[in-house]
Structure 1
Amino acid sequence: MNYLPHITVETGATPTASVIWLHGLGASGHDFEPVVPHLGLGDLAVRFIFPHAPEIPVTINGGYVMPAWYDILAMDFERKIDEAQIQASSDAIGALIERERERGVPAERIVLAGFSQGGAVAYHTGLSYPHPLAGILALSTYFATWKSITPSPANAQVPVYVFHGDRDEVVPEAMGVEARRRLKDMGLNPHYQSYPMAHEVCMEEIHHIGQVLRKLLA
């Protein structure tokens, strides 16, 4: 099978857990690769997978071709997007999850993480995946497909951690708060944390992510 191109970082010789971490619009899998040593995972043997999004034209950027998980057609609060493309990206991430299971990592020890556009795909993939996952980490993102998603009973109570900057002008914090509301409407109990930052990550957030991963994968 042809998998998405990706970077792999392992924190131990025989990984017993996996984190699939999706970058934002116009970036690459290299974006979050440097974060791993700062997570403080101790002796946890985790395989981090940082996939690269395909290069496609992006409408809001004048049709310029760039790495993107899906096309964004309008920058309004609802974020009009190409839902067929987000589903295709979700399917590609689902294939990476299946490969981890084939490698011996149970779904219950696989975390999906995503920043911005990647977070929207993490929401869609994680909440619709047919086997229970360890958790979803949503960084500076929004729930793009809350109207159309078919939730999986297997992940009806999946742990979700929402992290957002209170100075974010690209994906305003109100969109993160709205995602939390929609998740609660679905019966989930998301943890929400904001930071004094823009559309980025900060060291305090990275430390918190490390704490969450230790909790979910201990």
Structure 2
Amino acid sequence: MSLEFVEYPAKAAHKATIIWLHGLGDSGEGFLPVAPQLSLPDELGVRFVFPHAPVQPVTINGGMAMRSWYDIKSMDLDKRADEAGVRESAAKVEGLINKELESGISAEKIILAGFSQGGVISLHLAPRLAQKLGGVMALSTYMCAPNKLSDEAKHTDLNVFMAHGRHDDVVPHSAGRNAFDALSALNMDVSWQDYPMAHQVCGEELMAIRQWLIARLS
């Protein structure tokens, strides 16, 4: 079953696509307001796609059903991401990427972005795809099965933008750094930014994202 989404259409001829995955309990609408805030140049022709995660029970929330890219059974970071669930959601997101490719958008003009749980999916999927994407944006996030990455990665030269809050009490700053280190160990082109914030996105970060996106898509 394909993922439902909300979109922010390109302001000119559609030339590039950013697929942006939300965090636990949110929806595609959560990051929709960011698209106009970034005010990317019209001539880049960027379309934003904000998918909705499936609704499923989440163990750490007492089994309550909510939008979630995978179950979280434990807050321990090495057990937090349910690997089977991550792979299942990654396959669904790959379906969205394939639709963009089929519509004529080249892989280097597709950016996969994600916040928190969405970032876990982005970091998992992008290096394992057959095509090399234009970049990955991993915000306030961590990595699922980092020990399997070197065996499964098809692209070790991906450009990855990582950002994290120094006061994040949901995904510790150290977890983001661990993901950065795992990517760096494979010689990926990964940059790190951190900000005096909690589990969120701040204005200064959005400015850095804007500059990075323009550089990747120009």
> TM (normalized to structure 1)?
0.95
Shift of 1:38: 1.5
Aligned to 2:100: 100
Q: Report sequence identity in percent.
A: 44
Q: For residues 136-215 of structure 1, what are the structure 2 equivalents within 5 Å?
A: 136-149=136-149, 150-153=151-154, 155-215=155-215
What amino acid sits opposite 1:148 in the alignment? K
Q: Deviations over 1:31-77 (max 9, x none)?
A: 11000111131222111100000011111111111000000111013
Shift of 1:14: 1.9
Look up the SS of the partner of 1:163 in the other structure: strand
Aligned to 1:109: 109
Look up the SS of the partner of 1:207 in the other structure: helix
> TM (normalized to structure 2)?
0.95
Give the aligned length: 216
CA distance, structure 2, for counterparts of residue 15 and residue 116 of structure 1: 28
CA distance, structure 1, for counterparts of residue 180 and residue 164 of structure 2: 11
Shift of 1:105: 0.3
CA distance, structure 1, for counterparts of residue 120 and residue 7 of structure 2: 22
Is residue 40–residue 207 contact of structure 1 (8 Å, CA) maintained in 2?
no
Look up the SS of the partner of 1:57 in the other structure: strand
CA distance, structure 2, for counterparts of residue 80 and residue 166 of structure 1: 20
CA distance, structure 1, for counterparts of residue 30 and residue 121 of structure 2: 17
Look up the SS of the partner of 1:47 in the other structure: strand
What amino acid sits opposite 1:57 in the alignment? P
Q: Deviations over 1:98-118 (max 9, x none)?
A: 000011101111000000000
Aligned to 1:60: 60
Look up the SS of the partner of 1:112 in the other structure: strand
Q: CA RMSD in A?
A: 1.2
5+ residue gaps, structure 2, are none
1:8 aligns with 2:7: yes
Look up the SS of the partner of 1:8 in the other structure: strand
Q: Deviations over 1:136-168 (max 9, x none)?
A: 000000012212344333x21010010000010
Look up the SS of the partner of 2:17 in the other structure: strand
What amino acid sits opposite 2:148 in the alignment? S
Is residue 38–residue 207 contact of structure 1 (8 Å, CA) maintained in 2?
no
CA distance, structure 2, for counterparts of residue 209 and residue 79 of structure 1: 30
CA distance, structure 2, for counterparts of residue 124 and residue 77 of structure 1: 15
Aligned to 2:75: 75
Segment drifting more, 183-192 vs 132-141: 183-192
Higher helix share: 2
1:130 aligns with 2:155: no
Q: For residues 27-42 of structure 1, what are the structure 2 equivalents within 5 Å?
A: 27-42=26-41
Look up the SS of the partner of 1:33 in the other structure: coil
